[in-house]
Amino acid sequence: MTDDVLLTFNAGSSTLKIGVFERTGHHARNIGRGKIDFDKVPLTLAYTVGDDTYEKALTGDHAENFVAVVSETLDHILGHLPGRLVAASHRIVHGGLQFQGPVFLDDANIERVEGLVPLAPLHQPQALRVIHSVRKLRPDLRQTASFDTAFHSSQADLVRRLAIPRAMHDDGVRRYGFHGLSYKYIASKLKEIDPGAARGKVIACHLGSGASLCAMESGISRDTSMGFSALDGIPMATRPGWLDPGALLYLMRSGLRDPEKIEDFLYHECGLLGVSGISGDTRVLLQDKRAEAAEAIDLFCLRIAGEIGRMCSTLGGLDAVVFTAGIGENQPEIRARVAQRLRWLAVEIDEDANKRNSTSIHAAPSAVKLFVIPTDEEQVIADETVALIA
């Protein structure tokens, strides 16, 4: 094993995912993964290093004693590694207009990331508290940031523009797009799997509890479903996706006036959970026989297919669709339903390949290729860090 080890941190609202990588020259090789689920009591770090699996109870907590959580995590994981920790690398949801690629987190850049909290008030603070905790514990350790919005900075200004006064657009009120680290990985993997398809017009569907689509041409982002915030686009587990602003005005006049309550409503009470009244988890909804569960699934698939249709206009055609993330990688019924709604594009799915979660799931006569490709945001973060260090 190399003497150089780096850790990646992917901080969410309820979990902290950790990647363990060894640096060999200009490459990062994954040698372990960890996860802390903040909804579980007691707080536990579950991780693997090589072929060994560990589970450790943590004395820190998700609130005031979070530095202790990070301290124990570093001690536990690094205790099983002979290498020297050379960097801690972080996924940052929002890079605003300032960040169009990975950066070292010096004082100035941390301050800029903090300044973007209003653009991602639920996501940005989660990453920042990990950054500050690592800095307190290991002040001399290099830290880097990789941004979900950066991949979409290649989009044309017209695509990113909202129909609002120009001054607001110039001040940053525009479509940014998210899940960029996932899409960057998918673009690179598709190039390995099918170089011809990768050079064409591709729509990738990142379908998880948070969900979005990205239209790519030769691996470059041209359009995406999420806009100014991670609330936009297709319905998600508990987020509404596209929502008429008039509906929100109506709700505000009806009593939902507090910004924090509106934010909580939009992020936690809508989407598949709101439509079904049962769950935001598609696995639960697919097993449930009630009409409300079926309607939530149908709406989800309808909106995905509709967004693919819209993006075909941006791309001027379609050569391939890629399904990824938890739902996209593991739920054949969702993929089949989306493909059924795309038959007008001469899409034909191979039912047997789809049920096996094969990499290629299109039938031979299909005019559009269909792929299932597992994503790996941590690998992208590690690769970007190695490139920065080099």
Contact between 92 and 124 under an 8 Å Cβ cutoff? The reply is yes
Contact between 255 and 188 under an 8 Å Cβ cutoff? The reply is no
DSSP state, 280?
Answer: S
In 3D, which of 267, 261, 260, 212 has the Cα closest to residue 238? 267
Tokens of 330: 């593991």
Contact between 5 and 86 under an 8 Å Cβ cutoff? The reply is yes
H or E stretch including 191? helix 180-193
The helix/strand/coil state of 255 is coil
Name the CA radius of gyration of the chain, rounded. Answer: 21
Q: Tell me, yes or no, if 3 is annotated catalytic.
A: no
Residue carrying the six token digits 């972080």 = 90
The helix/strand/coil state of 22 is strand
Could you say which of 4, 148, 376, 383 is catalytic?
148
The helix/strand/coil state of 84 is strand
Q: Which residues are catalytic?
A: 148
